[in-house]
Amino acid sequence: MTLSAVVFDLDNSLYPETDYLLGVLRYFGQQYDIDVAPALAAYRPDMRNPGSDILGHLLTLAGCMTPQNHQRLFSLYTSAPLTLALYPQAEPLLKALRSQGVKLGVLTNGIVAVQRNKVASLGLDAWVDGVCYARELGAEKEKPHPEAFSRCCAMLGVPAEQALMVGDDWNNDIQGAQAVGMQTFWLEHDNGRSLAEMKMWLNQHA
């Protein structure tokens, strides 16, 4: 196959998103001298349901849920100056692809200020050619809307058929990308399909 670009989803594809959420909570605790340890200890990933107020839930677990603290925590969710790491397999993979002349992009849904702060926290701008924030097109055009993928391929200057979409969300990342003719690799973490597996898969299909 001709591979001119690889587009990665961000959250739980290039790094574990829990690191960001709990990193923001820790930072909030430091800034306002609040003990957030009970919330850190009680947190479970299944608390994150679409539409649920995870920030409010964490504050309740920490015993400090007030409208003011909620506003403070949300504000830090868009701006906390964190330093986070990519998945261990990500850096060698991005390096290898770059050295092969493959363009690299990120395509992410979600609140733009939050996603921008995640990208900054990960130092990801240095690793990729461009980041596409789908919400900038309008909430209705986020993944799996075809326009999100088309815009990202256009940003990288490659036809969709020569781009590979890599993501952990079957509906948003994989089906959406297939609909515009992109190649896809599903990071099915539960079944051991990680970035390391993807590298092996690429070597076999190149």
CB of 96 to Mg ion, least distance (A): 22
Backbone angles phi, psi at 152, to 5 degrees: -65, -45
Q: Is 12 in the site for Mg ion (CB under 5 A)?
A: yes
DSSP annotation of 132? E
Report the alpha-carbon distance of residue 58 to residue 54 in Å, rounded: 6
> Which residues, numbered 144-183, are part of the site for Mg ion (CB under 5 A)?
168-169
Nearer to Mg ion, 9 or 142 (CB): 9
Strands 183-186 and 130-133: unpaired
> Which residues, numbered 118-137, are part of the site for Mg ion (CB under 5 A)?
none
Which among 5-13, 48-56, 87-95, 97-105 is the span making contact with Mg ion, rule CB under 5 A? Answer: 5-13
Tokens encoding 45: 């990933």
Q: How far apart are the first and last CA of the chain?
A: 6
Q: Which of 11, 62, 110, 119 binds Mg ion (CB under 5 A)?
A: 11
Q: Which residue has the tokens 């690299």?
A: 104
CB of 62 to Mg ion, least distance (A): 26
Contact residues toward Mg ion (CB under 5 A) are: 9, 11-13, 168-169
